[in-house]
């Protein structure tokens, strides 16, 4: 992102690291390890690239191609469908190849090339919605493979005794990208225009590839038992009660959040009259909330327990978003409500993600990590394209405001399965599941 990208993409991981360094005693030591630091920084940069794309592409569609609500829903579906289609098999293939670092480098390079095609097409005046759909679909497909491969490289680089602390750090980085990435994308769209902002995103993926390429690590041996791995990942999640309930609640939450997010930009721009820069600034407040959530989550966990923290975060995350669809009238009041919603929601997101990731890491044996992650992504993230298509129908039928209110209510109700599960009484990390 010219100088802006260079500053944010490289300084932000360090800034996040300083805050996340308060989470667990092993984190500072991990950050002193060169290979882990490069791995984590590359992951953070690549995750940020994913999220910048998630907001830059819709703004390209709206500002350059004047996309309709239905076209925006299709684009959102293209940005999320690969999680449903590929995640399970991606975990099996990546484990079978056993070259996690090399796979991640390749995925970064391919994504950079795909995204670069958008500003090039715009420059020559041939950009179409069809190209946006294809780029969104293919870029997300490569992101799925990248995200699955991170689990194998993680296990290679991190000592078993540091799994929980390292998982909190990487999951916090991932969650932070979900709020900082869109805000950065909005600001870049405002300053540089949407197509040029994507060029900056291309640079982020290339920077991630360079960092990963510099890691020195012995790759695990190839394993060709792909079909068994697919079955084992799904079976393990379904047999383990805690993971099964966690996946069900997560799938419902992601379904309704996808409805909300699909309509958010259209609603903010066309009904609240907010510019891309103002939307980005409001969402940027969520980055502060994310960092705050990262700091307070360990304290809350010690006070009320791991399971209660996870449930509380799963409730706060969607509930705070109700402030957005009720916004009306004055543009600065609408900005304040959007910023407040993003801040509080991001605190809940961190509570939910960090505690939930720690629970999953503790329950999952090493040999199942990629498969379980693939199964989790397929079910939980696989609901997002469904939510995007549902958003198109609800938005056209009931209007944007009502559809977003329904999405918020559905997100709040998604916490119900957790209340009657082992998670509710879980104070500390569970023992590893069989």
Contact between 131 and 121 under an 8 Å Cβ cutoff? The reply is yes
Residue 158 zone, left/alpha/beta (φ > 0; ψ -120 to 50; rest): beta
Domain of 262, CATH number, reads: 1.20.1250.20
**Verdict on whether the full-model pTM lies above 0.75:** no
Predicted local confidence at residue 183, as pLDDT: 65
Query: In total, how many domains does the chain have?
Result: 1
Q: Is residue 434 part of a domain?
A: no
Report mean pLDDT in 10-residue bins for the chain, 434 residues: 29 43 51 85 80 77 84 83 81 74 91 93 92 92 86 76 68 66 69 78 90 81 55 81 94 93 87 81 77 82 92 96 88 90 91 86 75 81 85 89 95 94 88 74
Q: Is residue 382 part of a domain?
A: yes
Predicted local confidence at residue 172, as pLDDT: 67
Predicted local confidence at residue 291, as pLDDT: 75
Token digits for 337?
């409500």
- Other C-beta atoms closer than 10 Å to the C-beta of 99 total 18
Q: Is residue 432 part of a domain?
A: no
Predicted local confidence at residue 383, as pLDDT: 87
d(CA 405, CA 322): 7
Q: Is residue 403 part of a domain?
A: yes
Q: Is residue 206 part of a domain?
A: yes
Residue 125 zone, left/alpha/beta (φ > 0; ψ -120 to 50; rest): left
d(CA 371, CA 367): 8
Q: Is residue 430 part of a domain?
A: no
- Other C-beta atoms closer than 10 Å to the C-beta of 144 total 23
Predicted local confidence at residue 65, as pLDDT: 87
- Other C-beta atoms closer than 10 Å to the C-beta of 103 total 24
Q: Is residue 377 part of a domain?
A: yes
Residues whose CB is less than 8 angstroms from the CB of residue 251 and which lie 6 or more positions away in sequence, other chains included: 379, 380, 382, 383
Predicted local confidence at residue 406, as pLDDT: 96
Short-list 331, 322, 335, CA closest to 282 = 335
- Domain containing 84: what range? 2-425
Predicted local confidence at residue 376, as pLDDT: 84
Q: Is residue 263 part of a domain?
A: yes
Q: Where are the alpha helices (DSSP H) in 124-162?
A: 129-157
């Amino acid at each position: 992102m010219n100088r802006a990208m260079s500053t944010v993409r490289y300084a932000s991981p360090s800034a996040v690291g300083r805050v996340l360094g308060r989470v667990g005693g092993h984190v500072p030591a991990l950050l002193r390890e060169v290979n882990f630091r490069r791995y984590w920084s590359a992951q953070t940069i690549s995750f940020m690239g994913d999220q910048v794309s998630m907001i830059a592409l819709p703004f390209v569609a709206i500002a350059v191609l004047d996309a309709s609500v239905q076209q925006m829903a299709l684009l959102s579906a293209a940005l999320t469908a690969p999680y449903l289609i590929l995640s399970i098999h991606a975990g099996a293939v990546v484990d079978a190849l056993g070259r996690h670092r090399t796979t991640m480098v390749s995925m970064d390079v391919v994504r950079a090339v795909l995204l670069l095609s958008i500003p090039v097409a715009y420059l020559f005046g041939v950009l179409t919605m069809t190209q946006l759909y294809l780029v969104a679909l293919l870029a997300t497909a490569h992101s799925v493979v990248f995200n699955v491969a991170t689990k194998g490289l993680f296990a290679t680089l991190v000592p078993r005794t540091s799994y929980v602390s390292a998982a909190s750090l990487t999951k916090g980085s991932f969650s932070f990208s979900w709020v900082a990435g869109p805000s950065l994308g909005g600001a870049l769209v405002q300053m540089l225009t949407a197509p040029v902002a994507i060029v900056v995103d291309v640079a982020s993926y290339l920077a991630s590839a360079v960092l990963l390429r510099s890691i020195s690590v012995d790759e695990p041996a190839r394993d060709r038992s792909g079909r068994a791995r697919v079955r084992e990942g799904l079976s393990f999640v379904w047999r383990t009660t805690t993971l099964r309930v966690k996946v069900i609640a997560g799938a419902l939450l992601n379904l309704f959040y996808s409805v909300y997010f699909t309509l958010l930009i259209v609603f903010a721009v066309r009904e609240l009259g907010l510019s891309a820069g103002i939307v980005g600034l409001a969402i940027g407040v969520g980055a502060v909330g994310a960092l705050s959530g990262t700091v307070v989550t360990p304290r809350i966990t010690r006070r009320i327990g791991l399971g209660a923290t996870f449930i509380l975060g799963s409730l706060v995350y969607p509930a705070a978003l109700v402030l957005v669809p009720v916004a009306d009238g004055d543009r600065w009041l609408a900005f304040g409500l959007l910023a407040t919603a993003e801040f509080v929601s991001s605190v809940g997101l961190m509570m939910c993600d960090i505690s939930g990731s720690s629970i999953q890491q503790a329950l999952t044996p090493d040999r199942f990590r990629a498969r379980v992650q693939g199964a989790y992504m397929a079910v939980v993230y696989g609901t997002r394209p469904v939510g995007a298509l549902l958003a198109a129908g609800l938005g056209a039928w009931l209007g944007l405001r009502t559809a977003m209110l329904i999405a918020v209510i559905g997100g709040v109700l998604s916490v119900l399965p957790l209340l009657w599960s082992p998670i509710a009484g879980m104070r500390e990390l569970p023992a590893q599941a069989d």
